[in-house]
Amino acid sequence: MKKTLYFTGLLSTTFTFLGSFFKIMHWPGASVMIIMGAFSFAFIFIPLLIFIKFKEVSFLFDKFIYSIGVLLGTILMVGFIFKLMHWPWATILMLSSIVIFNFVYIPLYFISRFKREELKFNTVVNSVVMFSFGSILLALFDFTL
């Protein structure tokens, strides 16, 4: 299972990187590579990762938190694809997933894991990093009317 996860991650990263490079250089095939890479990441890699996490975690609430994270990550990745391809609804997909991530997911993650002494330090560090990246992504949007 982990070998499949590694292979899928490598494949999706390679396709996304090469597609982005091809798009910058205006070479043919860029759109196909970006779509293949991003969709394989969103719909194969992330679900495999959550499946492996479900095996490791015994708390039901942690499984619920991971499920929300998978859903938000998938929506964000689909929003990125829509944005790169200039399809409609891109901004709505990306903005909604980032806002829910910052203001719902991270507090739930922090509250659920901070209570356990063995996870306290990692929870604080992970929460700060997640909130920083989420805030940076949120800052990229233009909210002026």
Query: What predicted TM-score, i.e. pTM, was given to this entire model?
Result: 0.77
Instruction: Return the domain boundaries, the chain.
Output: 1-56, 62-145
Average confidence (pLDDT) over 4-15: 93
Quote the percentage of the chain above a pLDDT of 70.
99
Average confidence (pLDDT) over 93-108: 94
Q: Which pLDDT score is estimated for 98? A: 94
Contacts by 105-108, CB closer than 8 A, 24 or more apart: 105/65, 105/68, 105/69, 105/72, 105/130, 106/130, 106/131, 106/134, 108/65, 108/68
Model confidence over 42-80: pLDDT tens digits? 889 988 888 888 888 777 888 888 888 888 988 988 898
Cα of 1 vs its chain's centroid, Å: 20
